[in-house]
């Protein structure tokens, strides 16, 4: 047990929650205001661990109360920041600090999108220990569609409609925050730290390492043509990539400076709004709507980062057919909620640059990951191969790599390196041309 910002002891894992029992839950829910002072949690009917996600342990919790209340939920979801049995997953524990802040901000009447109702959220900053207890989203029940898993969008009906709803939700939060109607003192607790919006720390990329990975990528594209889009495995593009990527690496700091130096494009955003962190339902007007959960790394950022986070694991065919449409949807959503008048063409270029610098750090090792998991001679692979399709740790980064390469290949040579990211006398705000 640790003492968080609410001043009460809270458990760090499932065994601790089981031991703390109804006494802790009653105190926690009363402290957060979710439970009336004269009500109590009287029983725990279920506490079952579930898998999923890249950090922390998770559980399904079902409780009973002395008496029902309108805003009380009995079927709950518990997320811990810690995973004491897995050092890699435990390393992401500091993501929950901003997630707890968001859970409290979402209680504001002006918060514009659906999130799981918070029953209790607390965090101990020194240790990175946190707990988040929310209502449970019941996928496939009561008008909520079944859950869609990352990088499996071929199973999703109306992909464009779902991503339109998803980006509309992300844009609603961005525009509402820019409009100033959310509590300013709470919003200011979300720092502007573009480089900090990531899961873990990649090892530094050196020119020699980048050269090796680009060579491995070219070999991979030739050996496994069914795993990459046609233009992404085109030898002419791969030669162009081998020339442009080192130049981008040398000017990476300029890209980050450019992303940070555009105040109209900075807003509070969900950084990782993949479809597996969303639920979809029909609103009162019959339109497809979207709620968002799993708010790790939420913060103020360049909105291009959030767009890439939402689209990075989508089907490449969606990017080809609807990327420009979705940029229009996002810009319109920000504007309708009181935010800045964003230029979709600028958004597209910023998405490319952010995806490029992130991809160099996180995605060029996908061929090596496949080789490590499947061996040096796995045979000719396809995306439906169960060795890939049933392993999110391979399936998702492979799809992200395919989208990055396809996006880069489809843009004019040199666009990712244009004058907007060159050194600028006087430190003025750069301009995309």
Query: Is residue 78 within 8 Å of 59, Cβ to Cβ?
Result: yes
Out of 41-50, 198-207, 298-307, 341-350, which region has the weakest mean confidence (pLDDT)? 198-207
Span 212-222, mean pLDDT?
97
Q: Which residue has the higher pLDDT, 155 or 1?
A: 155
Cα separations (Å) of 324 from 16, 272, 274, 310?
Answer: 49, 20, 18, 14
The answer to whether residue 128 sits within a structural domain is yes
Asked whether residue 130 falls in the same domain as residue 176, the answer is: no
Q: Binning pLDDT at 50, 70 and 90, where does residue 428 land?
A: very low
Asked whether residue 130 falls in the same domain as residue 157, the answer is: no
User: According to the model, what pLDDT value does residue 347 have?
Assistant: 96
CA distance 316 to 40: 50
Q: Binning pLDDT at 50, 70 and 90, where does residue 199 land?
A: low
pLDDT tens for 57-110 read: 999 999 999 999 887 999 999 999 998 888 878 888 888 888 889 988 998 899
Q: Binning pLDDT at 50, 70 and 90, where does residue 416 land?
A: confident
pLDDT tens for 308-345 read: 999 999 999 999 999 999 999 999 999 999 999 999 99
Out of 236-250, 297-311, 314-328, 403-417, which region has the weakest mean confidence (pLDDT)? 403-417
CA proximity to 129, closest of 190, 187, 84, 88? 84
Average pLDDT, whole number, for the chain? 91
3-state secondary structure of 19: helix
Query: Is residue 25 within 8 Å of 39, Cβ to Cβ?
Result: no
CA distance 266 to 268: 7
Phi first, then psi, for residue 300 (nearest 5°) are: -80, 130
Asked whether residue 281 falls in the same domain as residue 164, the answer is: yes
Kindly report the CATH number assigned to the domain that includes residue 173.
Answer: 3.90.1200
Q: Binning pLDDT at 50, 70 and 90, where does residue 289 land?
A: very high
427, pLDDT greater than 90: no
Phi first, then psi, for residue 163 (nearest 5°) are: -75, -30
Span 268-296, mean pLDDT?
94
Asked whether residue 180 falls in the same domain as residue 234, the answer is: yes
Domain boundary among 108, 135, 162: 135
Q: Which DSSP state fits 385? A: -
pLDDT tens for 358-373 read: 999 999 999 999 999 9
Span 16-26, mean pLDDT?
96
pLDDT tens for 109-161 read: 999 999 999 999 999 989 999 999 999 999 999 999 999 999 999 999 999 99
Asked whether residue 62 falls in the same domain as residue 130, the answer is: yes
User: According to the model, what pLDDT value does residue 296 have?
Assistant: 82
CB neighbours of residue 196 within 10 Å: 14
The answer to whether residue 63 sits within a structural domain is yes
Query: Is residue 291 within 8 Å of 113, Cβ to Cβ?
Result: yes
The partner residues of 56 in beta bridges, in order of sequence, read none
User: According to the model, what pLDDT value does residue 349 have?
Assistant: 93
Kindly report the CATH number assigned to the domain that includes residue 43.
Answer: 3.30.200.20
* Assessment of whether the complete model's pTM goes beyond 0.85: yes
Query: Is residue 414 within 8 Å of 328, Cβ to Cβ?
Result: no
Asked whether residue 90 falls in the same domain as residue 211, the answer is: no
Domain boundary among 89, 107, 135: 135
Tokens 């607790």, located at residue: 189
Alpha helices (H) along 188-260: 207-223, 235-250, 252-260
Q: Which domain holds residue 347?
A: 153-427
The answer to whether residue 219 sits within a structural domain is yes
423, pLDDT greater than 60: no
> CA torsion sign, 216 to 219 to 225 to 230?
positive
431, pLDDT greater than 70: no
User: According to the model, what pLDDT value does residue 71 have?
Assistant: 79
Say what percent of the chain tops pLDDT 70.
Answer: 94
CA distance 222 to 251: 29
Asked whether residue 107 falls in the same domain as residue 175, the answer is: no
Torsion of CA 401, 277, 342, 325, to 10 degrees: 70
The partner residues of 281 in beta bridges, in order of sequence, read 144, 289
Total structural domains within the chain: 2
One-character DSSP codes across 343-376: -HHHHHHHHHHHHHHHHHHHTTTHHHHHHHHH-S
CA proximity to 432, closest of 357, 343, 322, 356? 343
CA proximity to 288, closest of 115, 137, 164, 172? 164
Asked whether residue 198 falls in the same domain as residue 85, the answer is: no
User: According to the model, what pLDDT value does residue 201 have?
Assistant: 65
Asked whether residue 90 falls in the same domain as residue 29, the answer is: yes
383, pLDDT greater than 60: yes
Asked whether residue 171 falls in the same domain as residue 115, the answer is: no
Domain boundary among 135, 169, 199: 135
Torsion of CA 77, 80, 86, 89, to 10 degrees: 90
The answer to whether residue 273 sits within a structural domain is yes
Span 242-248, mean pLDDT?
94
Asked whether residue 222 falls in the same domain as residue 90, the answer is: no
The partner residues of 65 in beta bridges, in order of sequence, read 41
Q: Binning pLDDT at 50, 70 and 90, where does residue 176 land?
A: very high
Q: Binning pLDDT at 50, 70 and 90, where does residue 53 land?
A: low
The answer to whether residue 180 sits within a structural domain is yes
Asked whether residue 277 falls in the same domain as residue 408, the answer is: yes
User: According to the model, what pLDDT value does residue 424 have?
Assistant: 44
Q: Binning pLDDT at 50, 70 and 90, where does residue 419 land?
A: very low
3-state secondary structure of 28: helix
CA distance 148 to 152: 7
The answer to whether residue 140 sits within a structural domain is no
The answer to whether residue 170 sits within a structural domain is yes
The answer to whether residue 148 sits within a structural domain is no
């Amino acid at each position: 047990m640790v003492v968080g910002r609410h001043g009460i002891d809270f458990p760090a894992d499932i065994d601790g929650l089981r031991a703390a029992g109804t006494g802790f839950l009653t105190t926690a829910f009363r402290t957060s205001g979710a439970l009336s002072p004269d009500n109590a949690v009287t029983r725990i009917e279920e506490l079952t661990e579930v898998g999923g996600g890249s950090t922390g342990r998770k559980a399904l919790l079902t409780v009973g109360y002395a008496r029902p209340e309108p805003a009380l939920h009995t079927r709950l979801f518990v997320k811990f920041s810690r995973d004491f049995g897995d050092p890699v997953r435990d390393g992401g524990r500091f993501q929950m600090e901003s997630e707890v802040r968001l859970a409290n901000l979402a209680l504001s009447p002006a918060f514009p999108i659906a999130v799981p109702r918070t029953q209790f959220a607390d965090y101990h900053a020194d240790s990175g220990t946190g707990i988040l207890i929310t209502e449970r989203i019941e996928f496939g029940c009561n008008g909520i569609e079944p859950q869609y898993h990352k990088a499996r969008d071929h199973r999703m009906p109306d992909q464009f409609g779902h991503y339109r709803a998803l980006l509309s939700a992300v844009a609603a939060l961005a525009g509402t925050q820019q409009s100033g109607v959310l509590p300013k003192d709470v919003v200011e607790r979300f720092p502007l730290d573009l480089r900090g919006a990531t899961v873990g720390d990649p090892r530094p990329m050196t020119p020699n390492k980048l050269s090796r990975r680009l060579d491995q990528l070219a070999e991979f594209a030739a050996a496994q043509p069914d795993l990459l889009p046609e233009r992404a495995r085109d030898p002419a593009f791969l030669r162009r990539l081998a020339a442009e990527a080192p130049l981008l690496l040398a000017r990476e700091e300029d890209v980050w400076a450019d992303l940070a130096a555009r105040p109209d494009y900075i807003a509070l955003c969900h950084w990782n709004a993949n479809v597996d962190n969303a639920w979809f339902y029909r609103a009162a007007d019959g339109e497809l709507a979207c709620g968002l959960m799993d708010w790790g790394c939420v913060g103020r950022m360049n909105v291009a980062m959030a767009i890439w986070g939402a689209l990075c694991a989508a089907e490449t065919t969606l990017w080809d057919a609807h990327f420009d449409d979705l940029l229009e949807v996002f810009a319109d959503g920000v504007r309708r909620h009181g935010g800045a008048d964003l230029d979709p063409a600028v958004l597209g270029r910023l998405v490319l640059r952010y995806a490029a610098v992130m991809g160099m750090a996180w995605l060029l090792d996908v061929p090596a990951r496949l080789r490590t998991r499947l061996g040096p001679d796995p045979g000719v692979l396809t995306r439906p191969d169960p060795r890939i399709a049933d392993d999110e740790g391979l399936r998702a980064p492979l799809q992200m790599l395919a989208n990055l390469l396809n996006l880069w290949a489809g843009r004019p040579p040199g666009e990712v390196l244009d004058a907007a990211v060159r050194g600028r006398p006087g430190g003025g705000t750069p301009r995309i041309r």
